[in-house]
C-alpha cells in the first residue's frame, strides 16, 4: 500500500492555548472530502469543536472542493462529525460545560489504514502574559542553541 504522508498542522494552537489533554478522533467524511485531504488541500487553522445533541462536530475546517468531481462535490466549510467513544464524549462535554474549556484541532492526518484522523485537544486559552512567556522561552532556547553551536 502506498504510504500517504498527509500531516496538516494547526501551528497557532500551541501558542494561543494551553493544552490539557489530547485525543485522536475519526472524521465522518464524504467521498470527495477524503480525496481532497489525500491531495493535501485542507486547513484547520481557524477551526474549533462544538457539541450538538451529544455529538462532537468540527466547525470551520476548510477542505477545498475536489477538482475532478461533478455536481456531487462537498461544501468546503461544512460541519463534520467527529467519531469518539461515548465515554470520551461524555468526559469532554462535561469538561467543556463546567470549566469553560474549549476543544481545538491540532493535527489532521491519514493513518496507516488510510482513514482520516484528527488530533484534538482540550485547551484553555492563554492570557497575553502567558503568550509573552512563550515568546521569551522560545527566544532563550534559540540563543542557547546558537551559543552551543559556536562552541562545537
CATH of the domain at 103: 2.40.280.10
- When divided into structural domains, the chain yields a total of 1
Which residue range(s) make up the domain with 92? 7-126
pLDDT tens digits for range 25-48: 999 987 888 888 888 888 888 899
CB proximity list for 125: less than 8 A, separation 6 or greater? 16, 17, 18, 102
Residue 64 lies in a domain: yes
pLDDT at 1: 44
- Is the separation of the CB atoms in 10 and 42 below 8 Å? no
Q: What is the pTM of this model?
A: 0.78
Residue 62 lies in a domain: yes
pLDDT tens digits for range 57-112: 999 988 888 777 767 777 778 888 999 999 999 999 988 888 888 999 999 999 88
Amino acid at each position: 500500500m502506498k504510504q500517504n504522508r498527509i500531516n496538516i498542522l494547526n501551528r497557532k494552537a500551541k501558542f494561543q492555548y494551553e493544552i490539557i489533554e489530547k485525543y485522536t478522533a475519526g472524521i465522518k467524511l464524504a467521498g470527495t472530502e477524503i480525496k481532497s485531504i489525500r491531495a493535501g488541500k485542507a486547513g484547520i487553522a481557524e477551526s474549533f469543536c462544538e457539541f450538538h445533541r451529544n455529538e462532537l462536530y468540527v466547525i470551520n475546517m476548510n477542505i477545498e472542493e475536489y477538482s475532478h468531481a461533478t455536481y456531487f462535490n462537498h461544501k468546503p466549510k461544512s460541519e463534520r462529525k467527529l467519531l469518539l467513544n461515548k465515554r470520551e464524549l461524555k468526559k469532554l462535554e462535561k469538561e467543556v460545560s463546567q470549566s469553560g474549556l474549549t476543544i481545538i484541532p491540532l493535527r489532521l492526518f491519514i493513518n496507516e489504514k488510510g482513514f482520516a484522523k484528527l488530533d484534538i485537544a482540550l485547551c484553555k486559552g492563554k492570557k497575553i502574559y502567558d503568550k509573552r512567556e512563550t515568546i521569551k522561552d522560545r527566544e532563550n532556547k534559540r540563543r542557547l542553541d546558537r551559543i552551543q553551536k559556536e562552541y562545537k
